[in-house]
Protein backbone atom coordinates (compact mmCIF):
# COMPACT_ATOMS: atom_id res chain seq x y z
CA UNK A 1 0.00 0.00 0.00
CA UNK A 2 1.20 3.50 -0.73
CA UNK A 3 0.13 6.41 1.46
CA UNK A 4 0.95 10.05 0.88
CA UNK A 5 1.61 11.81 4.18
CA UNK A 6 2.34 15.41 4.99
CA UNK A 7 2.06 18.04 7.68
CA UNK A 8 0.84 20.58 5.13
CA UNK A 9 -1.60 20.76 2.24
CA UNK A 10 1.07 21.62 -0.33
CA UNK A 11 1.72 19.57 -3.41
CA UNK A 12 5.10 18.36 -2.11
CA UNK A 13 3.88 15.26 -0.30
CA UNK A 14 6.45 12.86 1.13
CA UNK A 15 5.32 9.30 0.51
CA UNK A 16 5.56 6.28 2.77
CA UNK A 17 4.54 2.68 2.16
CA UNK A 18 3.21 0.18 4.68
CA UNK A 19 4.42 -3.38 4.20
CA UNK A 20 1.81 -5.73 5.68
CA UNK A 21 4.23 -8.67 5.66
CA UNK A 22 6.96 -6.80 7.54
CA UNK A 23 4.45 -4.78 9.59
CA UNK A 24 6.32 -1.54 9.12
CA UNK A 25 6.53 1.73 7.21
CA UNK A 26 9.12 2.57 4.58
CA UNK A 27 9.94 6.02 3.25
CA UNK A 28 9.53 6.21 -0.54
CA UNK A 29 11.67 8.22 -2.90
CA UNK A 30 9.71 11.19 -4.22
CA UNK A 31 9.20 10.66 -7.95
CA UNK A 32 6.47 12.98 -9.15
CA UNK A 33 6.56 14.42 -12.68
CA UNK A 34 6.72 17.97 -11.29
CA UNK A 35 7.02 19.86 -8.04
CA UNK A 36 3.41 21.03 -8.18
CA UNK A 37 1.84 17.76 -9.39
CA UNK A 38 -0.07 15.75 -6.80
CA UNK A 39 -1.07 12.06 -6.90
CA UNK A 40 -4.80 11.63 -7.51
CA UNK A 41 -5.19 7.93 -8.41
CA UNK A 42 -3.27 4.68 -8.75
CA UNK A 43 -3.73 1.36 -10.56
CA UNK A 44 -1.62 -1.60 -11.59
CA UNK A 45 1.73 -0.27 -10.39
CA UNK A 46 1.17 3.19 -11.87
CA UNK A 47 0.28 6.49 -10.20
CA UNK A 48 -1.69 9.29 -11.86
CA UNK A 49 -0.60 12.86 -11.09
CA UNK A 50 -2.49 16.07 -11.74
CA UNK A 51 -1.17 19.63 -11.90
CA UNK A 52 -3.71 21.74 -9.94
CA UNK A 53 -2.98 24.93 -11.90
CA UNK A 54 -3.44 23.49 -15.39
CA UNK A 55 -5.26 20.17 -14.91
CA UNK A 56 -2.54 18.37 -16.90
CA UNK A 57 -2.35 14.64 -16.19
CA UNK A 58 0.76 12.47 -16.04
CA UNK A 59 1.11 8.73 -15.44
CA UNK A 60 4.28 7.57 -13.70
CA UNK A 61 5.93 4.52 -12.20
CA UNK A 62 7.26 5.92 -8.91
CA UNK A 63 9.75 3.06 -8.55
CA UNK A 64 11.59 3.75 -11.81
CA UNK A 65 10.75 7.42 -12.25
CA UNK A 66 9.42 6.81 -15.77
CA UNK A 67 6.52 9.08 -16.65
CA UNK A 68 4.19 9.88 -19.52
CA UNK A 69 2.16 13.03 -20.03
CA UNK A 70 -1.36 12.28 -21.23
CA UNK A 71 -2.90 14.23 -24.10
CA UNK A 72 -4.99 17.18 -22.99
CA UNK A 73 -8.45 15.93 -21.98
CA UNK A 74 -11.48 17.27 -23.84
CA UNK A 75 -12.84 20.42 -22.29
CA UNK A 76 -16.49 20.65 -21.34
CA UNK A 77 -17.10 24.38 -20.95
CA UNK A 78 -18.82 25.36 -17.74
CA UNK A 79 -18.77 21.86 -16.26
CA UNK A 80 -17.15 21.28 -12.91
CA UNK A 81 -14.75 18.36 -12.50
CA UNK A 82 -16.23 15.98 -9.92
CA UNK A 83 -13.91 12.97 -9.83
CA UNK A 84 -10.96 11.21 -11.48
CA UNK A 85 -10.72 7.42 -11.76
CA UNK A 86 -7.95 5.14 -12.98
CA UNK A 87 -8.28 1.40 -13.63
CA UNK A 88 -6.54 -1.39 -15.48
CA UNK A 89 -2.81 -2.07 -15.76
CA UNK A 90 -0.09 -1.37 -18.29
CA UNK A 91 0.02 -1.66 -21.18
CA UNK A 92 -3.74 -1.07 -21.17
CA UNK A 93 -5.15 1.24 -18.54
CA UNK A 94 -7.88 3.86 -18.53
CA UNK A 95 -8.38 7.24 -16.91
CA UNK A 96 -11.94 8.57 -16.51
CA UNK A 97 -12.92 12.15 -15.76
CA UNK A 98 -16.42 12.81 -14.40
CA UNK A 99 -17.72 16.35 -14.80
CA UNK A 100 -21.02 18.17 -14.40
CA UNK A 101 -23.42 19.48 -11.83
CA UNK A 102 -25.04 16.98 -9.48
CA UNK A 103 -27.61 15.70 -8.90
CA UNK A 104 -28.90 15.82 -12.49
CA UNK A 105 -26.04 16.43 -14.92
CA UNK A 106 -22.90 14.31 -15.24
CA UNK A 107 -20.66 13.42 -18.19
CA UNK A 108 -17.63 11.19 -18.66
CA UNK A 109 -14.43 11.39 -20.71
CA UNK A 110 -12.17 8.30 -20.86
CA UNK A 111 -8.52 8.03 -21.87
CA UNK A 112 -7.46 4.64 -23.29
CA UNK A 113 -3.70 3.99 -23.18
CA UNK A 114 -3.93 1.45 -26.00
CA UNK A 115 -5.11 4.15 -28.43
CA UNK A 116 -3.43 7.09 -26.67
CA UNK A 117 -6.63 9.09 -27.07
CA UNK A 118 -9.68 10.38 -25.22
CA UNK A 119 -13.28 9.45 -25.83
CA UNK A 120 -16.03 11.89 -24.96
CA UNK A 121 -17.20 13.66 -23.05
CA UNK A 122 -20.39 11.64 -23.22
CA UNK A 123 -23.44 12.31 -21.02
CA UNK A 124 -24.34 9.78 -18.34
CA UNK A 125 -27.98 8.81 -17.82
CA UNK A 126 -29.23 9.45 -14.31
CA UNK A 127 -30.74 6.44 -12.52
CA UNK A 128 -32.80 6.54 -9.35
CA UNK A 129 -31.95 4.37 -6.36
CA UNK A 130 -34.40 1.59 -5.55
CA UNK A 131 -34.95 3.00 -2.08
CA UNK A 132 -34.68 6.62 -1.01
CA UNK A 133 -33.88 5.95 2.62
CA UNK A 134 -32.24 3.41 4.86
CA UNK A 135 -31.92 2.84 8.55
CA UNK A 136 -28.76 2.96 10.61
CA UNK A 137 -28.34 0.71 13.68
CA UNK A 138 -28.09 2.60 16.96
CA UNK A 139 -29.03 5.87 15.29
CA UNK A 140 -32.17 7.62 14.02
CA UNK A 141 -33.43 6.63 10.57
CA UNK A 142 -31.64 8.32 7.71
CA UNK A 143 -33.40 11.39 6.40
CA UNK A 144 -34.16 10.81 2.76
CA UNK A 145 -32.07 9.66 -0.16
CA UNK A 146 -29.34 11.42 -2.03
CA UNK A 147 -31.38 12.19 -5.13
CA UNK A 148 -33.11 15.47 -4.27
CA UNK A 149 -31.81 16.43 -0.84
CA UNK A 150 -30.78 20.09 -0.73
CA UNK A 151 -30.18 20.23 3.02
CA UNK A 152 -26.77 21.37 4.20
CA UNK A 153 -24.41 18.62 5.27
CA UNK A 154 -21.47 19.20 7.60
CA UNK A 155 -18.10 17.44 7.52
CA UNK A 156 -15.01 17.44 9.67
CA UNK A 157 -12.02 19.18 8.11
CA UNK A 158 -8.46 17.96 8.46
CA UNK A 159 -7.99 20.36 11.37
CA UNK A 160 -11.11 19.04 13.09
CA UNK A 161 -13.26 22.07 12.32
CA UNK A 162 -16.89 21.55 11.32
CA UNK A 163 -17.39 22.98 7.84
CA UNK A 164 -20.23 22.95 5.33
CA UNK A 165 -20.51 21.03 2.07
CA UNK A 166 -18.43 23.46 0.06
CA UNK A 167 -15.28 22.52 1.96
CA UNK A 168 -12.00 22.31 0.02
CA UNK A 169 -10.52 18.84 0.36
CA UNK A 170 -6.78 18.21 0.13
CA UNK A 171 -5.38 18.36 -3.39
CA UNK A 172 -4.91 14.59 -3.55
CA UNK A 173 -8.40 13.79 -2.23
CA UNK A 174 -10.38 16.54 -3.95
CA UNK A 175 -11.26 14.40 -6.97
CA UNK A 176 -10.61 10.95 -5.51
CA UNK A 177 -12.68 7.90 -6.39
CA UNK A 178 -12.52 4.13 -6.11
CA UNK A 179 -13.12 1.65 -8.91
CA UNK A 180 -14.67 -1.82 -8.98
CA UNK A 181 -14.18 -3.88 -12.14
CA UNK A 182 -16.96 -6.53 -12.27
CA UNK A 183 -15.13 -8.76 -14.76
CA UNK A 184 -11.42 -8.00 -15.06
CA UNK A 185 -10.95 -9.71 -18.41
CA UNK A 186 -10.48 -8.59 -22.01
CA UNK A 187 -14.11 -9.51 -22.65
CA UNK A 188 -15.24 -6.88 -20.14
CA UNK A 189 -14.40 -4.16 -22.63
CA UNK A 190 -13.05 -1.88 -19.94
CA UNK A 191 -16.25 -1.96 -17.91
CA UNK A 192 -15.89 -0.49 -14.43
CA UNK A 193 -17.96 1.22 -11.78
CA UNK A 194 -16.45 4.29 -10.15
CA UNK A 195 -17.59 5.56 -6.74
CA UNK A 196 -16.91 9.01 -5.32
CA UNK A 197 -18.30 11.46 -2.79
CA UNK A 198 -20.43 14.35 -3.99
CA UNK A 199 -20.16 17.84 -2.51
CA UNK A 200 -23.28 17.09 -0.45
CA UNK A 201 -21.77 13.99 1.11
CA UNK A 202 -23.62 11.31 -0.86
CA UNK A 203 -21.91 8.40 -2.60
CA UNK A 204 -22.17 8.58 -6.40
CA UNK A 205 -21.84 5.40 -8.49
CA UNK A 206 -20.92 5.72 -12.19
CA UNK A 207 -21.19 2.72 -14.51
CA UNK A 208 -18.73 3.31 -17.36
CA UNK A 209 -20.15 0.51 -19.52
CA UNK A 210 -23.83 1.45 -19.13
CA UNK A 211 -22.94 5.16 -19.17
CA UNK A 212 -25.17 5.86 -16.23
CA UNK A 213 -24.89 7.17 -12.67
CA UNK A 214 -26.91 7.43 -9.50
CA UNK A 215 -26.64 9.04 -6.09
CA UNK A 216 -27.00 6.47 -3.35
CA UNK A 217 -29.14 7.16 -0.26
CA UNK A 218 -27.52 8.77 2.72
CA UNK A 219 -26.23 6.51 5.46
CA UNK A 220 -26.77 9.05 8.24
CA UNK A 221 -29.21 11.95 8.58
CA UNK A 222 -28.11 15.31 7.19
CA UNK A 223 -27.85 16.90 10.64
CA UNK A 224 -25.21 14.41 11.80
CA UNK A 225 -21.56 15.48 11.98
CA UNK A 226 -19.44 12.66 10.62
CA UNK A 227 -16.44 11.78 8.48
CA UNK A 228 -16.93 9.52 5.45
CA UNK A 229 -14.75 7.96 2.78
CA UNK A 230 -15.27 5.40 0.02
CA UNK A 231 -13.04 2.39 -0.49
CA UNK A 232 -12.80 -0.64 -2.80
CA UNK A 233 -11.42 -4.03 -1.77
CA UNK A 234 -12.21 -7.65 -2.49
CA UNK A 235 -14.11 -6.70 -5.64
CA UNK A 236 -16.66 -4.53 -3.78
CA UNK A 237 -17.09 -0.87 -2.87
CA UNK A 238 -17.74 0.26 0.70
CA UNK A 239 -18.44 3.47 2.58
CA UNK A 240 -16.53 3.91 5.84
CA UNK A 241 -18.17 6.24 8.38
CA UNK A 242 -16.82 7.62 11.64
CA UNK A 243 -19.62 9.17 13.69
CA UNK A 244 -20.56 10.02 17.25
CA UNK A 245 -23.82 9.05 18.91
CA UNK A 246 -24.72 9.63 22.54
CA UNK A 247 -21.49 9.26 24.55
CA UNK A 248 -19.34 7.23 22.19
CA UNK A 249 -17.90 7.09 18.66
CA UNK A 250 -18.33 4.33 16.10
CA UNK A 251 -16.44 3.44 12.94
CA UNK A 252 -18.45 1.25 10.58
CA UNK A 253 -18.12 -0.20 7.09
CA UNK A 254 -21.21 -0.21 4.85
CA UNK A 255 -22.00 -1.89 1.53
CA UNK A 256 -24.85 -0.83 -0.77
CA UNK A 257 -26.83 -3.84 -1.99
CA UNK A 258 -30.45 -4.56 -2.92
CA UNK A 259 -31.29 -0.86 -2.80
CA UNK A 260 -30.05 -0.10 0.71
CA UNK A 261 -26.96 0.11 2.91
CA UNK A 262 -25.90 -2.91 4.94
CA UNK A 263 -23.29 -2.85 7.69
CA UNK A 264 -20.57 -5.40 6.90
CA UNK A 265 -17.95 -4.55 9.54
CA UNK A 266 -17.51 -2.36 12.60
CA UNK A 267 -14.52 -1.44 14.70
CA UNK A 268 -14.79 -2.86 18.24
CA UNK A 269 -16.31 -0.19 20.53
CA UNK A 270 -13.28 -0.36 22.83
CA UNK A 271 -11.13 0.84 19.91
CA UNK A 272 -13.47 3.42 18.38
CA UNK A 273 -14.53 5.00 21.69
CA UNK A 274 -11.17 6.75 21.88
CA UNK A 275 -12.23 9.03 19.00
CA UNK A 276 -15.20 10.44 20.93
CA UNK A 277 -14.94 14.20 21.10
CA UNK A 278 -11.79 14.27 18.96
CA UNK A 279 -13.56 15.50 15.79
CA UNK A 280 -11.40 13.15 13.77
CA UNK A 281 -11.24 12.68 10.00
CA UNK A 282 -10.79 9.35 8.19
CA UNK A 283 -8.83 8.51 5.06
CA UNK A 284 -9.23 4.98 3.68
CA UNK A 285 -7.76 2.68 1.06
CA UNK A 286 -8.43 -0.94 0.10
CA UNK A 287 -5.95 -3.62 -0.87
CA UNK A 288 -6.89 -7.24 -1.56
CA UNK A 289 -9.48 -8.26 1.03
CA UNK A 290 -8.40 -5.68 3.59
CA UNK A 291 -8.86 -1.97 4.08
CA UNK A 292 -6.68 0.55 5.87
CA UNK A 293 -8.26 3.41 7.80
CA UNK A 294 -6.13 6.41 8.75
CA UNK A 295 -7.74 8.47 11.52
CA UNK A 296 -6.46 12.03 11.98
CA UNK A 297 -7.34 14.70 14.51
CA UNK A 298 -5.64 17.54 16.33
CA UNK A 299 -4.74 15.10 19.09
CA UNK A 300 -3.87 11.85 17.35
CA UNK A 301 -2.94 10.22 14.04
CA UNK A 302 -3.39 6.45 13.94
CA UNK A 303 -3.97 3.79 11.27
CA UNK A 304 -5.91 0.54 11.43
CA UNK A 305 -6.16 -2.51 9.19
CA UNK A 306 -9.46 -4.36 8.82
CA UNK A 307 -10.09 -7.76 7.25
CA UNK A 308 -13.64 -7.09 6.07
CA UNK A 309 -14.90 -10.68 5.80
CA UNK A 310 -13.89 -11.61 9.35
CA UNK A 311 -14.34 -8.11 10.84
CA UNK A 312 -10.87 -8.40 12.34
CA UNK A 313 -9.22 -5.08 13.27
CA UNK A 314 -5.67 -4.25 14.27
CA UNK A 315 -3.90 -1.01 15.04
CA UNK A 316 -0.83 -0.42 12.89
CA UNK A 317 2.46 0.87 14.27
CA UNK A 318 2.80 4.63 13.96
CA UNK A 319 4.80 6.23 11.19
CA UNK A 320 7.20 8.71 12.76
CA UNK A 321 8.96 11.30 10.61
CA UNK A 322 12.49 12.63 11.01
CA UNK A 323 11.34 15.10 13.64
CA UNK A 324 9.99 12.32 15.83
CA UNK A 325 6.35 13.23 15.15
CA UNK A 326 3.56 11.06 13.73
CA UNK A 327 2.49 12.51 10.37
CA UNK A 328 -1.06 13.26 9.32
CA UNK A 329 -2.17 11.20 6.32
CA UNK A 330 -3.72 13.33 3.59
CA UNK A 331 -4.22 10.67 0.91
CA UNK A 332 -3.79 6.92 0.59
CA UNK A 333 -3.57 4.76 -2.52
CA UNK A 334 -3.41 1.02 -3.08
CA UNK A 335 -0.21 0.47 -4.97
CA UNK A 336 1.48 -2.64 -6.35
CA UNK A 337 5.22 -1.92 -6.75
CA UNK A 338 6.33 -3.29 -10.12
CA UNK A 339 9.68 -2.29 -11.57
CA UNK A 340 8.94 -3.85 -14.96
CA UNK A 341 5.85 -1.72 -15.59
CA UNK A 342 6.32 0.87 -18.34
CA UNK A 343 4.14 3.88 -19.01
Instruction: Quote the mean pLDDT of the chain.
Output: 78
Torsion of CA 99, 103, 104, 109, to 10 degrees: 20
| pTM for the structure as a whole | 0.82
Cα separation of 61 and 342, whole Å? 7
Q: Residue 161's pLDDT is what?
A: 52
Quickly state the pLDDT bin for 327 (edges 50, 70, 90). Answer: low
- 127-142 average pLDDT score: 44
The sign of the dihedral angle between the CA atoms of 113, 115, 117, 122 is negative
Q: For 2-333, give the CATH class.
A: mainly beta
Cα separation of 299 and 292, whole Å? 20
Residue 182 pLDDT greater than 70, yes or no: yes
Residue 284 pLDDT greater than 50, yes or no: yes
- 13-24 average pLDDT score: 73
Burial class (CB in 10 A: 0-12, 13-18, 19+), 268: exposed
Q: Residue 339's pLDDT is what?
A: 75
- 84-89 average pLDDT score: 90
Residue 142 pLDDT greater than 60, yes or no: no
Count of residues for the chain?
Answer: 343
CA R_g for the chain: 19
Q: Give residue-wise pLDDT tens across range 214-243.
A: 999 999 887 778 889 999 998 899 999 999
Residue 1 pLDDT greater than 60, yes or no: no
Quickly state the pLDDT bin for 301 (edges 50, 70, 90). Answer: confident
Amino acid sequence: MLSAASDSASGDLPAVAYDAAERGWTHCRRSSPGSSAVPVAASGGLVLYRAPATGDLTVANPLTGASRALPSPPRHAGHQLQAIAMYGAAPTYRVALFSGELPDDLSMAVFDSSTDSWEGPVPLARRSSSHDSSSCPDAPAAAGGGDNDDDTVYFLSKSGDVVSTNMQRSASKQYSSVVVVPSPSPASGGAAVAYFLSNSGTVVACDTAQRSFRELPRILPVYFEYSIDVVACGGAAYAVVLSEYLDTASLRVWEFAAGEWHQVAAMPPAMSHGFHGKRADINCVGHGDRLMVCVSSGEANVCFMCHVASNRWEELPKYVNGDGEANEFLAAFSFEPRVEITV
